[in-house]
């Protein structure tokens, strides 16, 4: 169905915004109707059956959130995109929980608005507009869209519906949240704010920092602590997704189990396209000055073996994880939590980190024992290190078939080895323009 056959209802009491959006959408071939008051909206929705409703949060007579509830109650299938000049990730999460398709900040971006309306209409495969083509340049193509060295392929996947979660950022201490939106095949995974425009791909090229967590950056979009969510998406085979957030992914309980539950709540949708595997056929390694070393070598299935050794009360731990699909990850690896030593907390606080550290979202260890919880596994620390490796390795953007062996390594080592894999196997990068190249800083 072509865009000319789509109807958009614009609900906004600001004349300039309403008229500007009307003109833009009309130029793109949409049929546009408008309302300035909440009392008009339900009548128009019933009479006109619009494909998409653009609904301002701040409306005379009736709050936009209240109106959203009424629209979804009377018309559960209505696609409502909330817009606001005073929004936040919390407002966006609330609106999404109530059934909003998406949330966009004012001032509205032409590219972001048109792309979001297209997704809401389900017109992912229709011929793109000039604005959307420009947006695609900013959202560089996924790494499987070019030829690479691989001899296997897996089906691409996305989520069946949008879902949300909220919590604290571990290092920022800011109350934040995530909104996971399905994307069509060949889109890749992208992080962005709630403006609906600029994004950063979940890809090795955009790793900004590996200090105590893995962070990404492109231009003004910065996203911290991505590894637990990315590990979960990898385990469920998700290759196409838009992740809206604010600054840092919430730490939840310090593990990835809540992200697994979120994905299962949304459901996984298999798509037509495929994503080629990188098949490891030689041994590659990265070593530090001490005992830390990480190696990848040929294997029939993605496997991670991790060994750590700390003073008492941790001691020596090791675990081998053989990826057998989402269930194996959810049961063996996802519940393993972030851990830290009490003696290190003061140093981290001076560095401006772990502002969101709480007794319920990490394992605290003093010189004698774990002081705030019971371990979920005897080897929970080793399993958590595997969780981090899975998350970091997912930033290749393609599944890897090989065995990882690691000892006393962290995020910087994981990314260093991943860069070697990309170099040896000719994996195409996403830095398609000079401004993208300038924005992506090397890992520390």
Note whether 20 and 14 are within 8 A (CB).
no
311-314's contacts with Cβ under 8 Å and 24+ in sequence apart are 312/367, 312/368, 313/365, 313/367, 313/368, 313/369, 313/370, 314/365, 314/381
What is the spatial distance between Cα 199 and Cα 277, in angstroms, rounded to a whole number? 25
Give one DSSP letter per residue of 364-404, joined into a string: EE-SSSB-S---SSTTHHHHHHHHHHHHHHGGGSS-EESEE
Q: Residue 43 is inside which H or E element, if any?
A: helix 38-48
Cα 193–chain centre separation? 11
What is the spatial distance between Cα 132 and Cα 127, in angstroms, rounded to a whole number? 10
Tokens at 217, concatenated: 């950056």
The helix/strand/coil state of 174 is: coil
Q: Residue 84 is inside which H or E element, if any?
A: strand 80-84
Instruction: Supply the DSSP symbol for 41.
Output: H
Q: Positive or negative CA dihedral for 202, 206, 208, 210?
A: positive
Active-site hit among 228, 384, 411, 437: 411
Longest dimension (CA), the chain: 71
Residue 411 falls in the annotated catalytic set: yes
The CB-side HSE value for 396 (13 A sphere, CA atoms) comes to: 30
Note whether 144 and 398 are within 8 A (CB).
yes
Outline where 219-290 has alpha helix (H): 227-235, 257-266
What is the spatial distance between Cα 366 and Cα 346, in angstroms, rounded to a whole number? 13
Note whether 429 and 312 are within 8 A (CB).
no
> What are the two backbone dihedrals, phi and then psi, of residue 335, each rounded to the nearest 5 degrees?
-75, -10
**Residue positions annotated with a catalytic role:** 411
């Amino acid at each position: 169905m072509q865009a000319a056959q789509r109807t958009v209802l614009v609900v906004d009491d600001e004349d300039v915004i309403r008229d500007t959006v009307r003109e833009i959408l009309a130029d793109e071939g949409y049929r546009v109707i408008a309302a300035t008051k909440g009392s008009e909206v339900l009548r128009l929705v019933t009479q006109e059956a619009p494909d998409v409703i653009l609904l301002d949060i701040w409306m005379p007579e009736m709050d936009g959130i209240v109106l959203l509830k009424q629209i979804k109650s009377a018309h559960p299938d209505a696609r409502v995109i909330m817009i606001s000049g005073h929004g936040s990730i919390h407002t966006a999460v609330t609106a999404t929980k109530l059934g909003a398709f998406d949330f966009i900040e004012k001032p509205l971006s032409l590219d972001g608005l048109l792309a979001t309306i297209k997704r809401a209409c389900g017109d992912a495969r229709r011929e793109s507009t000039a604005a959307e083509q420009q947006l695609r340049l900013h959202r560089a193509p996924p790494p499987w869209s070019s030829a690479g060295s691989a001899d296997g392929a897996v089906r691409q996947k996305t989520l069946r519906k949008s879902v949300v979660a909220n919590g604290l950022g571990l290092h920022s201490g800011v109350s934040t949240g995530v909104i996971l939106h399905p994307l069509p095949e060949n889109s890749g995974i992208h992080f962005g704010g709630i403006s609906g425009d600029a994004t950063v791909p979940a890809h090795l090229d955009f790793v900004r920092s590996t200090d105590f967590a893995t962070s990404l950056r492109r231009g003004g979009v910065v996203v911290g602590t991505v590894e637990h969510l990315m590990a979960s998406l990898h385990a469920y085979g998700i290759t196409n997704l838009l992740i809206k957030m604010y600054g840092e992914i919430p730490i939840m309980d310090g593990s990835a189990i809540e992200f697994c539950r979120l994905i299962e709540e949304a459901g996984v949708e298999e798509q037509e396209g495929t994503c080629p595997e990188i098949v490891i056929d030689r041994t590659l390694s990265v070593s530090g000055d001490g005992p830390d070393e990480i190696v990848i070598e040929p294997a029939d299935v993605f496997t991670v073996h991790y060994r750590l050794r700390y003073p008492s009360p941790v001691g020596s731990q090791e675990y081998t994880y053989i990826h057998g699909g989402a269930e194996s990850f959810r049961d063996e690896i996802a519940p393993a939590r972030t851990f830290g030593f009490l003696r290190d907390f003061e140093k981290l606080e001076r560095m401006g980190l772990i502002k969101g550290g709480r007794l319920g979202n990490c394992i605290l260890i003093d010189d004698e024992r774990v002081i705030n919880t019971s371990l979920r596994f005897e080897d929970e620390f080793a399993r958590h290190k595997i969780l981090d490796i899975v998350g970091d390795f997912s930033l290749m953007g393609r599944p890897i078939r090989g065995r990882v062996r690691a000892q006393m390594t962290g995020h910087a080592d994981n990314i260093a080895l991943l860069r070697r894999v990309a170099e040896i196997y000719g994996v195409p990068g996403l830095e398609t323009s000079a401004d993208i190249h300038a924005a992506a800083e090397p890992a520390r």
